[in-house]
Amino acid sequence: MDKVVESASAAVADITSGSSLAVGGFGLCGIPSILIQALLDTGVTDLEAVSNNAGVDDFGLGLLLGAGRIRRMVSSYVGENKEFARKYLAGELEVELTPQGTLAERLRAGGSGIPAFFTATGVGTQVAEGGLPWKYDAHGNVEVASPPKEVRPFDTAQGRREFVLERAIVCDFALVRAWKGDRHGNLVFSKSARNFNPLAAMSGRITLAEVEELVEPGELDPDSIHTPGVFVQRVVPLTAQHAADKRIEKRTVR
């Protein structure tokens, strides 16, 4: 039951080129920066990353993007990362843009054993009808476009409405960052760092969690646990220095 590994390098050692990754965080809040750096150091490439965004140019997933290690992104937001936008528009990166709530539910569904679900989000747009540019060629022409999705009417409290079928996401690995975790893999996220982290943790076949504070089993209040240990396979305790390394995307002062 002890899931603690000695280092981030050991935790990511079996992630191979071509793997798919679900990565927690929102902007730079709650991103598993130490695991991402360890993955960068391995030299793996041709990765598919599922994450709300791709960090910034010199931090988080932006490091893997800048090094040309990511082949495909499934995201809901491109902003704050100039290299992300440049690679997408230059035809160097395939990007499946997904409505943010839909992306969250696709990850949750994958971890819950639900293969697909219907949602009203995207009905009447290219999200449902297809044709969203997933990949451009070097000349700016659409090389890969999103396919049309099944749309079906359902009776609701607001009357008969149309809904679009969205498929769940299950990834080979998931990388997350927690405020506290125990040796059994139970995790607690602090404030807004509880964003995509619990959902990403659910969707990985093998989930790696870097934790700012490692505690012993039984020390966490069961009612306060956000991600049960059943979803987590490896726990990486961070040093005090690593735990304190948290960047701010935009600082506004008076």
CATH of residue 181's domain is 3.40.1080.10
Q: What is the pLDDT of residues 33-58, one digit of tens each?
A: 999 999 999 999 999 999 999 999 88
Count of structural domains within the chain: 1
Query: How far apart, in Å, are the Cα atoms of 229 and each of 1, 137, 226?
Result: 9, 43, 10
On whether residue 252 sits in a domain, the answer given is: no
Q: What is the pLDDT of residue 87?
A: 95
106 within a domain of the structure (yes/no): yes
pLDDT of amino acid 107: 98
Q: Is residue 124 part of a domain?
A: no
Is 161 contained in some domain?
no
- For the cut 90, the answer to whether the pLDDT of residue 6 exceeds it is yes
Structural domain of residue 89, as residue ranges?
Answer: 8-115+168-244
Q: How many CA atoms lie within 13 A of 89 on its CB side?
A: 7
Give CA torsion, residues 34, 179, 197, 192, to 10 deg: -120
Rounded percentage of the chain residues whose pLDDT exceeds 90: 93
Decide if 154 is inside a domain. Answer: no
- Asked, for residue 159, whether it belongs to a domain, the answer is no
Sign of CA dihedral 204, 208, 210, 215: positive
DSSP string for 70-96: EEEEEES--TT-HHHHHHHHTTSSEEE
Residue 153 belongs to a domain: no
Could you tell me which residues come within 8 angstroms of residue 109 by beta carbon, excluding any fewer than 6 positions away? Answer: 115, 116, 117, 168, 169
The pTM for the full model equals 0.95
Q: What is the Cα–Cα distance from 232 to 26, expressed in whole angstroms? A: 20
d(CA 166, CA 127): 10
Percent of the chain with pLDDT over 70: 100
Among residues 236, 241, 179, 181, the alpha carbon closest in space to that of 210 is found at: 236
